[in-house]
Structure 1
Amino acid sequence: MLIAILLLFLFTIFVCNYYVHYGKNGRLINLIPGPPGYPIFGNTFQLLVSREKQWNTVVSVSNQYYPISKAWAFFLANVMIRHPDDIQTILSNTKHLEKAKLIYDFFHPWMGSGLATSKAVKWYSQRKTLTPTFHFNILQQFVDVFVQEGENMTKFLKNSKDTVVNDVISFVSEYTLNAICETAMGTSLRDHGDFQQQYREATFRMTEIITYRISRPWLYSDWIFSLTSKGKQQKRNLEILHGFTEQIIAGRKRYHERTNGRYLKNLSNDVSAEFVADKIGTQRKRLAMLDLLIAASREGLMTDSDIREEVDTFMFAGQDTTGISLSFLLALLAEHKDIQERVRNEIDSAMQENDEKISMKLLQQLPYLERCIKEALRLYPSVPFIIRTSGEDVKLQSYVVPAGINILIHIYGVNRDPNFWPNPEVFDPDRFLPERDRNRHPYSYITFGAGPRNCIGKQ
């Protein structure tokens, strides 16, 4: 009996494999070049290595099969693209707004259906609600928060004297987390103590767990994953992450209860810079993204669960990506003393012209520093890939990708494509001089994504 069941199982697997690879979609996918794999298992074993080796494998495949490649993981096909023309075809078309369900579903226990992980239908309304809070004029209200956190960081370094900061990303992320809480959540973390450290550590562990799971298709089942040690670790980390964000939301709600909600009156999707400016009298009166979400919930437009999903999304996206980007920028400036000196001189001159006071006006007088930031983001984008699902059959330069296929857009690869970036490995901020930047392919630099579903926090 057991042998019969085993034979039936193997027969079913081989039938499914034949159908997947030799059906219409499979035949189209297999026209695309890619690394050879094993029957049924595909290229799965190539990713069962350390994260560093995984990364090297992906970059090597991208270079070897430029500009498009395919890989199989059991019955799941993935297509990787890195040519700006192909990327433009996908990102500029509203038919392909859906993020890869299977992969982004791994973030759902953490972030639910927040802006970064939601389906296209829900994303439209979320983006419409949140976009006003990222208006440039509103961001100006938060410059003093960025300045304060920068001063806190440099003060710590000065007081440390001979202490060496070994983990720069973790160190910088402490201050980017403070900044996102103050600006997007309207809440200071200075009274949260060890809870803040626990949150940052849980964030790191969750990204490790999700990366581990993505490369192991047998863990794609939520039930099977929940039985593993990684699944149990995820549960413990989620308790910390959700407890932290719930504490922030509760604190902000109490603030509005104490002030009888007067700062939420007339706050809607049409929030304007003028309205915000009128209401700001003290730091605590500064309106934040969370205030907009709370106002929407009072009108019945969002549930408490919806609010937490957005807060979880922006807490991670706002501090982790910024912390990584700043860390790479610091490393590059440390490696290039001449560029560092030029940045320092530009800042010194701007400070003298502005009475040693950092403001939005001063930040706009730092074009060379801005070019350094853009160049650092080109070399080391904090999100090296995004994955979309093709909404319909789509003709790229050389191949047709059928509907329903995961398309991995290699941001790291296109940002370093030698066809568009001469000497792409060299740190050269002057690549972003206006005269050099003007005629470059608009999709050859996509650090913040591109098209309608680009990064809302780009500014």
Structure 2
Amino acid sequence: MNTPSELTFTSVLKWILLLMVLLFIIVYNWKRRWLYYYALKFPGPFGLPLLGIVHRFRHGPAAYNTIMKPFNEYPTGFSCWVGKDLYFGISKPKDIEILLNRCLTKGKLYKILHECFNDSLVVAPVGAWKERRKAFNKAFRPTTIKSFFGKFVKGAHDIVSNLNKKHGGESFDVLQEIWPITCEIAWTTLAGVDPNLLDGPDQFMSDVIRYQQIIHQRFWNPLYHSNFFWRRSALGREAEDLHKRTYDFIQKIVENSKEHDSGDVTENYFVNLLIRMRDEKKLSHEEMLREMPFMFTAANETTALTTSAVLLVLGMYPNIQENVFEELDTIFEKSDKDITLGEVNKMDYLKRVIKETMRLLPAVPFILRTLDQDVQIDSRFYPRGSEIIISMPHVHQNAEVWPDPLKFDPDRFLPEASKNRPRCAFMPFSYGVRNCIGLQYAMVSMLIMLSTILRSYKVTSSIYKRIEDIDFQHYVVAKPKKGYYISMEKRIK
């Protein structure tokens, strides 16, 4: 006799739960109504209900060009949904300049880097970022970089010593010869640590490469964007192990780093700044350690990638390579003379070659920001809470700004050719106050390495013959799928 009443109670409970779910959905979507409204104001690719364009991710890395295709289809901008998040693809330099100046919060997708970089400078909330950036600037100001000069020169000679074993027509991936040395340069310049005193630098590099591969897989599996599922996956557990090993290595660097006497420019080594901030209670010990992996990785990997890319490109275009050599031959009276700062400042053509390489082969493929305020640009409105994505190759190869965009032409960066160009038409180090802190560090170190190499060797590209031939694999950074394979011939002195 109790069955009807029990069924009635169960039914009522189900209806209550259903109504609560419906109420939640209504309230949730009502709060986001402006996102839906303004998304419809933009053209964009087809998206599934609730999923948006997530279904395109099912093809993995092969879908990269498909996902980025809207930048070609809608050159003035588009909107799309990735799950519950609204993204605006931005290509116009004027819009990019406004958005990057006003919105400093890093995009939500950067959370997939959290295990490695936590809340370090690259992904820190705006408040913490402002305080730390101001303090860290001391490690990258001109006087500090000038003090690194001897270390840059030594690293350049170490690279040439490695390359001496490679000349004679043998094809090899030059990144594998340059990257270990840029790692050593980073440890000596940012921490004042002798790499020979460190145990495990090779393991550190291997861990960085493996971590990038894991993050690559995480990016292409939307289920893994959720920390709940990620931390319970085999890849997530492997990433955690890599994270622990990285911090053990970073701790060794701290232990080997020593404070320098006050007044010595080396007191502003990056690690020494962190140690002082920790001692002054501006950072905890854990926060201090969190800052190091990204800064060391950014200082050595992107520099190695760009240096390798320049050599690859010069191997494709021997006439430009000879122009570089002629400039260097004019600057240096003696072929075996070490480089000085004054000579670096005279390398105008080589600087333009580096910039043109970064335009066509940017190491960082995109920029992501979260809009923490409403932004109106002309007739377009970007609502707070949405995300913006900026594709560097599409910005750098915009035919309206860069005529014949795939042509490699260093003279694009002559002063007279650059003066009327929009500021955000070229931004390999990002743009605005939250740009890359190591811009000058990277440029000076690359000029020293490249000039030292190119005074000793002629370079030929082994696989690629044109820029158009290069197919990229996009990890945290972008790399040619077939590597940076070149061959080298010793220059006759």
Question: 1:420 Cα deviation (Å)?
Answer: 0.6
Find the counterpart in structure 1 of residue 316 from structure 2.
Answer: 335
Match status 1:29 vs 2:39? yes
Find the counterpart in structure 2 of residue 276 from structure 1.
Answer: 264
Question: 1:453 Cα deviation (Å)?
Answer: 0.9
Find the counterpart in structure 2 of residue 99 from structure 1.
Answer: 106
CA contact (8 A) 1:79 1:407 kept: yes
Correspondence for 1:318 among 291, 294, 299: 299
Letter in structure 2 aligned against 1:276: D
The SS at the match of 1:115 is: coil
Match status 1:113 vs 2:134? no
Tell me the TM-score normalized by structure 2: 0.80
1:77-129 deviations in whole A, cap 9, x for unaligned? Answer: 11110110110110122xx11112x3222222211211111000101100110
Correspondence for 1:123 among 123, 129, 137: 129
Find the counterpart in structure 1 of residue 93 from structure 2.
Answer: 84
The within-5 A match list for 1:332-411 is 332-352=313-333, 356-411=337-392
CA contact (8 A) 1:186 1:287 kept: no
Question: 1:353 Cα deviation (Å)?
Answer: 6.7
Match status 1:70 vs 2:79? yes
Letter in structure 2 aligned against 1:98: T
d(CA) in 2 for partners of 1:177, 1:187: 11
d(CA) in 2 for partners of 1:30, 1:319: 43
Letter in structure 1 aligned against 2:93: P
Shift in alpha-carbon separation, 1:365–1:115, aligned structure 2, 3 A: same
Question: 1:451 Cα deviation (Å)?
Answer: 1.2
**Bigger shift: residues 146-155 or 390-399:** 390-399
Question: 1:362 Cα deviation (Å)?
Answer: 1.1
**Bigger shift: residues 58-67 or 332-341:** 58-67
Q: Which runs of 5+ in 1 are unaligned?
A: 257-262, 266-274, 278-284
The SS at the match of 2:123 is: coil
Find the counterpart in structure 1 of residue 243 from structure 2.
Answer: 238
RMSD of aligned Cα (Å): 2.7
CA contact (8 A) 2:138 2:268 kept: no
Shift in alpha-carbon separation, 1:22–1:196, aligned structure 2, 3 A: closer
Shift in alpha-carbon separation, 1:396–1:353, aligned structure 2, 3 A: farther
Question: 1:406 Cα deviation (Å)?
Answer: 1.0
Find the counterpart in structure 2 of residue 269 from structure 1.
Answer: none
Correspondence for 1:306 among 263, 266, 287: 287
Letter in structure 2 aligned against 1:239: K
Shift in alpha-carbon separation, 1:264–1:304, aligned structure 2, 3 A: farther
CA contact (8 A) 1:20 1:75 kept: no
d(CA) in 2 for partners of 1:203, 1:149: 21
1:292-321 deviations in whole A, cap 9, x for unaligned? Answer: 211222222222112211211201111121
CA contact (8 A) 2:101 2:432 kept: yes
Question: 1:217 Cα deviation (Å)?
Answer: 2.8
d(CA) in 1 for partners of 2:171, 2:27: 51
d(CA) in 2 for partners of 1:229, 1:141: 45
Find the counterpart in structure 2 of residue 46 from structure 1.
Answer: 56
**Bigger shift: residues 182-191 or 448-457:** 182-191
Letter in structure 1 aligned against 2:354: I
Find the counterpart in structure 2 of residue 135 from structure 1.
Answer: 141
Shift in alpha-carbon separation, 1:145–1:402, aligned structure 2, 3 A: same
Point out the structure with max Rg over C-alpha: 2
d(CA) in 2 for partners of 1:289, 1:33: 45
**Bigger shift: residues 329-338 or 105-114:** 105-114
The SS at the match of 2:86 is: strand
Shift in alpha-carbon separation, 1:296–1:14, aligned structure 2, 3 A: closer
Find the counterpart in structure 2 of residue 448 from structure 1.
Answer: 429
CA contact (8 A) 1:182 1:188 kept: yes
The SS at the match of 2:81 is: strand
d(CA) in 2 for partners of 1:368, 1:226: 49
d(CA) in 2 for partners of 1:192, 1:38: 51
Letter in structure 2 aligned against 1:395: Q
Find the counterpart in structure 1 of residue 154 from structure 2.
Answer: 148
Find the counterpart in structure 2 of residue 200 from structure 1.
Answer: 205
d(CA) in 1 for partners of 2:349, 2:23: 58
Q: Which runs of 5+ in 2 are unaligned?
A: 1-9, 441-493
CA contact (8 A) 2:328 2:347 kept: yes
